[in-house]
Amino acid sequence: MRARHAVVYWTGFGITLALLIAAPLVLPEFWRRFLTEILIWGLLAMSSDILIGYTGMVSFGHSAFFGLGMYGAAAALLSVQPPNLGLALLYGLVGAAVVAGFVAYFSTRLRDIYFAITTLIFSQIFYVIIFTWTELTGGENGLTFRRPPLAIPGLFSVPFTSQTLHWFVVAVVTLSYLVLRRITRSPFGMVLQSIRENEARTRAIGYPIERYKIVAVMLSGLFAGLAGVLYAVQNQFAAPDFVFFLVSGEAVIYNVIGGIGTLVGPILGAAFFLLLREGLSRFFTEYYLIPVGVIFVAMVIFMPQGLLGFMRRWLNQ
Amino acid sequence: MSLVPAAPLLEVEEIHTYYGKSHILDGVSLEVGSGEVVGLLGRNGVGKSTTLKAVASLVHPSRGEVRFEGRPITRLPAHRVARLGIGYVPEDRRIFPLLTVTENLRTGLDRHGVTAARKKELLDKVYAYFPVLAERRGQAGGTLSGGEQQMLAIARAMMLEPKIILLDEPTEGLMPRMVSQIREIIDVLHREHVAVLLVEQNVPLTLEASHRIYILEKGVVRHHAPAAELQADDAVIHRYLGV
Amino acid sequence: MRSFTGTWACSVEFLQTIPFDQLLIQTINGIVTGMILALVASGLTLIFGIMDVVNFAHGELFMLGAYFGVIVLAATGDFWLALVASSLIVALLGAAIYLTTLRPLLGRDPLTTLLSTFGVSLVLQNYALWQFGPVARKIQEPFTGQFTLFYLDYPWYRLVIALLSAAIIGALWLFLKFGTFGIWIRATTQDRVMAQAMGIPVPWVLTVVFAIGAGMAGASGVLFGPLVGVNHAMGLDWILKTLIVVVVGGMGNLAGSIAAAIFISLLEAYASLWVSPAQAIIVSFVVLILTLLFRPTGLFASTPR
């Protein structure tokens, strides 16, 4: 049984991966970029699934982590010439980690709704800081910069094409998925899920749940920051809009639509939402968010487990 | 001798309830006649409280039916059941802590079709029965002692002018002196022609106060007899309750 | 001891560098904004206290109140009629939102209601954008005219807003304290199950409370309209501030929210003497952080909730 599950799972994984790799070879430019963006937002949503789906903490703070990853990368790409990918990754991840640590320290002592509200307010705090500290962050207009080449210093340096960038993103997202999957199935991940099921009992058994929660937030923040770095590299700009709490809200929407606690669900949720938005915007011009919002609310009420929710146990085995 | 009255006020027929996957009530049936005092005994956790909650519609049985005055009430929402004339006094009282004594009483008093004169009448009556409550009428419910809260909980249910009151372990946590007061209150209810379905751990009190007794074990009624019979021969009590 | 008097002397000296009239103006400004914020926050707190729902769409109800105010004002020319009509419309809208998107979620995890109201806020925001366009509208003040405060002119209207907001909150308090429905609301807030067992029609009570909260938000929108431009995004600022106020005041604590609203608004008003309004909001963030660190149940929480 276990063996058969593994075969089916990895076959599915392989097929999906193959499709993603083949995509840029067949898709027109617009859809190529679209797919890359889906993956990046999917990574953001996946990172928040660690909190929502596995630890049971709904966070609205991910826009801060994403934004700091983005601005961190921007800082690296603007301050150090020639632009260096590795440095962008480093700055971005460190930035996101610091912010995540800060938010984690204050918020994790609170439960449920209070946690959600506090993380929301924190992402707004960072929004305001970034928005008003114009000298450092470019304020409202954000920052623009050049895309770094794919480089291992001393070995080779190759500028990204739209195709190779897509493959790079596929690689990063796939790796992130595998890492996160490994973590959720580890003893650490089991404790997180136990916290989600019954926090009081987990605490009573003797686990220092505050510490686990803080690590969970930082882990989640790290991968959200990674998504921010990827976004910066792909689009070559950073703007405060991405730190606004609505972006966190969208990540949560992807989670709910796709199915929390599945890691893969949120990516699908992002795809569903972005495709829906793209499709509806052809008909409804600017007001496509109305039917999208209605669909979202309907899903919360009638399909709370999301698109992949029924596969949740299976995906986590 | 027919045990049950001809046209019972309350009929519970084969109700089943679940809590998650646990099967709590596994086909409970009982009846209470107009003005009767019926006791429900059993060890901890057999489902006595759940039975009362099912009658009050605070818990919805997945199978079975509850009928009040002949009409099925199983699917009705709890507030309609209360208005029909079923008063509920829960375990641990649950009076409204931040409402005053009077306001607590008013939650039952302020109903459609009750004139101001009648409201005053009912309030005066209940304050006559419970002078302690009259003394504390302006105090917040949460500041009352355990015994006073129990009186308030019962008085509050009486404000509904119910035909039956469901009493869930009224003597729990009370001093022995207060137990006799509870006994008196049950007598008062009986005099007012209010039926009582009494769940209790205090066996002697229940045997004294009730006309008939049901004994519950693991979610089913195992024994049903007039109280007098059980008072005379307590082997059955020993068997099911171990006291 | 010496350092204490030293700090005290420094502070006094510092305060004396601020012109007194500016201090007074900002105090009044703070109270005015604070009263409106209190009105909005009371609605949110009321709703949260009784049904554990954080109404994310509250800011949009505020915004729609302002827009409906614009419409009624344009049609009738009567500001006060606009205020009343708009509040009623938003209250009804609130009831409709509750019945369709929140009632089905009542038994579930409270976080689903947060998500649901978030979705509703998206819909309402974009609906407003669609119907009214991106250009800001204006509500005319019902009366102009200022009085002189020192050598500056301060508009009467602002004082009237503060008084009206206080009056509405006062009316709410009276309603809750006396009268049958007020008792029903308080009982349901304290113990929803026992309220049902006492024959209180809880589903109806919940709907009405949501409508009242919505109506209060709508009224705030109309009152605040003349102070700023009315546009579809104005709810976002307010929901943020309202959430901060509600957490600082103690969730579910009505008096606490009101106190916190005035407190935070005053601090922000004073802060805007030195920094821009966009940055003054950092004050509320700082207050929130301090509250979370030292008194997480709420700065003004009198009774533990």
Q: List pLDDT tens digits, range C22-38.
A: 788 888 889 999 999 99
Smallest CA–CA distance, residue C150 to chain A, in Å, is: 34
| CB nearest A290 (choices: C54, C127, C292) | C127
Q: How would you class B189 by CB atoms within 10 Å of its CB: exposed for 0-12, middle for 13-18, buried for 19 or more? A: buried
Q: Is B90 inside a domain boundary?
A: yes
- Any idea of the CA torsion for A291, A292, A297, A303, to the nearest 10 degrees? 110
Interchain pair A124, C240: CB under 8 A? yes
| CB nearest C197 (choices: B58, B98, B103) | B58
Interchain pair C119, A300: CB under 8 A? yes
pLDDT at C277 over 50: yes
What's the confidence (pLDDT) of residue A313? Answer: 73
Is the Cβ of C186 closer than 8 Å to some Cβ of chain B?
yes
Radius of gyration of chain B (CA): 18
Mean pLDDT, chain C, rounded, equals: 86
Is the Cβ of C277 closer than 8 Å to some Cβ of chain A?
no
DSSP 3-state assignment of C21?
A: helix
Residue with the larger pLDDT of the pair C179 and B211? B211
Task: Write out the two tokens for C211.
Answer: 């409508």
Mean pLDDT of A308-316: 75
Residue in B closest to C178 by C-alpha: B103
- Any idea of the CA torsion for C257, C263, C267, C269, to the nearest 10 degrees? 80
pLDDT at A258 over 80: yes
Burial per residue of A192-219, b for 16 or more beta-carbon CB atoms within 10 angstroms, e otherwise: bbbbbeebeebeeeeeebeebbbbbbbb
Is the Cβ of C187 closer than 8 Å to some Cβ of chain B?
yes
DSSP 3-state assignment of B66?
A: strand
pLDDT at A123 over 70: yes
**Chains B and A are touching, with contact defined as 3 or more CB–CB pairs separated by less than 8 Å:** no
Could you tell me the residue range of the domain that residue B146 belongs to? 10-241
**CA–CA dist B136, B155 (Å, integer):** 13
Q: Is B4 inside a domain boundary?
A: no
Interchain pair C196, B79: CB under 8 A? yes
User: Which residues 6+ apart lie within 8 Å of A130 measured at CB?
Assistant: A67, A71, A137, A139, A240, A243
Q: Is B121 inside a domain boundary?
A: yes
Total number of domains constituting chain A: 1
Question: Pick from A67, A183, A41: which is nearest to A123 by CA?
Answer: A67
DSSP 3-state assignment of C131?
A: helix
Is the Cβ of C202 closer than 8 Å to some Cβ of chain B?
yes
Of A297-311, B27-41, C135-149, where does mean pLDDT reach its minimum? C135-149
pLDDT at C280 over 70: yes
Q: Count residue pairs from A and C with Cβ separation < 8 A.
A: 101
- Any idea of the CA torsion for A190, A192, A197, A203, to the nearest 10 degrees? 100
Q: Give CA separation, A113 vs A56, A169, A205, C51, in Å.
A: 11, 34, 24, 13
Smallest CA–CA distance, residue A108 to chain C, in Å, is: 11
CB A258 within 8 A of CB A272: yes
Residue with the larger pLDDT of the pair C221 and C142? C221
Sign of the CA dihedral running A58, A63, A64, A65? positive
- pLDDT band for C63, please (50, 70, 90 cuts): very high
What's the confidence (pLDDT) of residue B105? Answer: 94
pLDDT at C249 over 80: yes
Q: Is B1 inside a domain boundary?
A: no
pTM above 0.90, yes or no: no
Smallest CA–CA distance, residue A289 to chain C, in Å, is: 6
For each of chain B's 243 residues, which pLDDT tens digit applies?
345 656 789 999 999 999 888 888 989 999 999 999 999 999 888 889 999 999 999 999 999 999 999 899 999 999 999 999 999 999 888 999 999 999 999 999 988 888 889 999 999 999 998 999 999 989 999 999 988 999 999 999 999 999 999 999 999 888 888 888 899 999 999 988 999 999 998 888 999 999 999 999 888 988 898 988 888 887 888 888 876
- Chain C residues whose CB is inside 8 A of the B100 CB are none
User: Which residues 6+ apart lie within 8 Å of B172 measured at CB?
Assistant: B91, B92, B201
Most confident among B205-214, C138-147, C289-298 (mean pLDDT): B205-214
What's the confidence (pLDDT) of residue C172? Answer: 93
Smallest CA–CA distance, residue A292 to chain C, in Å, is: 8
What's the confidence (pLDDT) of residue A1? Answer: 59
What's the confidence (pLDDT) of residue B2? Answer: 47
Q: Which residue has the tokens 């309202």?
A: C242
What's the confidence (pLDDT) of residue C150? Answer: 61
Interchain pair C115, A256: CB under 8 A? yes
Is the Cβ of C183 closer than 8 Å to some Cβ of chain B?
yes
What's the confidence (pLDDT) of residue C1? Answer: 52
- pLDDT band for A145, please (50, 70, 90 cuts): confident
Total number of domains constituting chain B: 1
Return the number of other C-beta atoms located less than 10 Å from residue A4's C-beta.
8
Could you tell me the residue range of the domain that residue A107 belongs to? 17-250
Phi, then psi, of A61 in degrees rounded to 5 = -100, 0
What's the confidence (pLDDT) of residue C94? Answer: 96
The CATH number of whichever domain residue B120 belongs to comes to 3.40.50.300
Say what the ipTM of the complex is. Answer: 0.90
- pLDDT band for C304, please (50, 70, 90 cuts): very low
Q: Is B5 inside a domain boundary?
A: no
- Chain A residues whose CB is inside 8 A of the C243 CB are 117, 120-121
Q: Is B95 inside a domain boundary?
A: yes
What's the confidence (pLDDT) of residue B100? Answer: 94
Determine the number of helices (DSSP H) and then strands (DSSP E) in chain A. 14, 4
Interchain pair C184, B107: CB under 8 A? yes
pLDDT at C65 over 90: yes
What's the confidence (pLDDT) of residue B81? Answer: 95
DSSP 3-state assignment of C91?
A: helix
pLDDT at A286 over 60: yes
Is the Cβ of C194 closer than 8 Å to some Cβ of chain B?
yes
DSSP 3-state assignment of A260?
A: coil
User: pLDDT above 90 covers what percent of chain A?
Assistant: 22
Contact residues, C window 101-120, toward B, CB-based 8 Å cutoff:
none
Interchain pair A132, C279: CB under 8 A? yes
Q: Is B226 inside a domain boundary?
A: yes
Most confident among C15-19, C53-57, C206-210 (mean pLDDT): C206-210
Residue with the larger pLDDT of the pair A175 and A85? A175
Residue in C closest to A133 by C-alpha: C279
Is the Cβ of C191 closer than 8 Å to some Cβ of chain B?
yes
